[in-house]
Structures are given as structure tokens and as C-alpha cells.
Amino acid sequence: MVLYALIAICGAFSGFVATLAGLGSVLTLYVLIQVVGLDADVANGTNRIGIMAMSLMALPTFYKKGHLDLKKSWWIILAIFVGAIGGAILAAQYTNNDDFKDIFKYLLLVMLVLVLTNPKKWIQVTDHSYQMSKWLLPIFVLMGFYAGFIQVGTGVFLVIFLALAGRYSLVDSNGIKLAAIALYSLACIAIFAIENKINWEIGIVLAIGQGFGAYIAAKFATTYPKSNGFVRHLLIVMLIIAIIQMFELHTYVIRT
């Protein structure tokens, strides 16, 4: 019972930060693997249930408040979905994520530098007149492939890229992110379930927590006037925490 409570609490925190920024899976995968004791591939599949709950609980609020323009962003969402199917198929049969983790941790450094530079850019409102080039479609397919394979960091990468390349506000970027996640997570769950790589009992408990945290985050993001600035600062904090963990800087401090 204590373990389930811990999973739900971690899920709630993860759902909140993942909805507004990203990297919630850094926490949930750590708990599923290190605390619960699931194999990495099963943890990857189980984690998708919470991610699905997060997106479904938060997405309606973003849509109702006008932070998701499907007519403008449908091709982005579809490209991510197509890539995610391929990534999930590979992940369900491939358990060694070390190569992707090495790439991921250096990408985190790039993301942190981008978010720290030109602070005013990150609190901009969406430029609705701007049309993103369809030549960027392969980039979204690759993002989707990564999301389907390992998920961790997808939200951060997508939000930052949409803000920079698409001239979206951070809140509107999160709306597109959640729509994409909701669509591809459903396919990912089916793929992992076919390969018997999901612990449904743990996944449902995680989903309850993540869904609750996501709902609170969505209400906050769509009603708080300075939410773009808050999201930027949350992105910075989550990136720093993830960098410390991925490069194991905390163990260096302890040794010294």
C-alpha cells in the first residue's frame, strides 16, 4: 500500500511538470525501475499508461481555452504519431537504451543553453499569422520516433522546437505537445501490450497520479496570466535536474 501511494504521488508530481514543461518520465522511470524493480522495457511500456492519462486529463482544458489550433498543427501531430509507431515497435523488442541515453544527455545541454538565452523570446505570444515550413516534417517524424522508443525528454524537445521554429507561445506549444502525446500513446500502449511489456496494476496507479497532476497543471497554465514565464523557469529547473542525473554529477559531489 505504501508503494502504491509513493507511485501515485510521484505520478502526480510528474504529471504536473510534464504537462507544463516535460521530463516527467525521468522521475517515473526511475521509480518504476529502481524502486518498483521493473525491467527497463516493462517500465518503458508501463510508463505509457500514465503518460496517456496525463495527456487526456490536460488536453481538454488547453483546447477549450484556445491553446490548441488543430487546423494549423494537425500535420505536426500526425508526423509525430507516424514516427512514434516505429519507435515503439523497436522499443518493445530492444531493451538496451544506453545509446539513446548518451545522445539524450548531450541534447539536454543544448536545450538548457537555448532556454537560458534571450529570456524575452520565451514569454512571447503565439504568432498566428506565421506558417511553419512543411520541410520540417522529417524533424517531427524523428521526434516521434524518439518518443515512441524512450519518451524521456520528448516534451521538452517539442515545446522548445515549436517555440523557436513555429513562433508558438510556451503554453500553445504545450497544447500541441499534449495532442501529439495523446495520439501516439494510445498506439504505443497497444504495441507494448502485444509484447507483454506492461504491468497494468502499477500502470493504473501511476495513471491516477499523473492524471490528477496534469489536470491541476492545465488549469494553472490556462488561467495564470504569467504562465509562459513560469513554464520557462520550470523548464530550466527540470533540465538542470535531468542533466545532474544523466551525467551523474551528484555522485561526483558526494565523492568529493
pLDDT for residue 215 is more than 90: yes
Q: Pick the residue with more confidence: 238 or 61?
A: 61
Question: Which segments of the chain does DSSP mark as H helices, in order?
Answer: 2-20, 24-30, 40-64, 70-93, 98-116, 137-149, 154-165, 170-194, 200-223, 227-246, 249-255
pLDDT tens string 66-105: 899 999 999 999 999 999 999 999 888 765 656 656 666 7
Site of grid cell 538542470: 240
pLDDT of residue 99: 60
Q: Pick the residue with more confidence: 38 or 103?
A: 38
pLDDT for residue 256 is more than 60: no
Q: Quick count: other Cβ atoms within 10 Å of Cβ 84?
A: 29
pLDDT for residue 203 is more than 60: yes
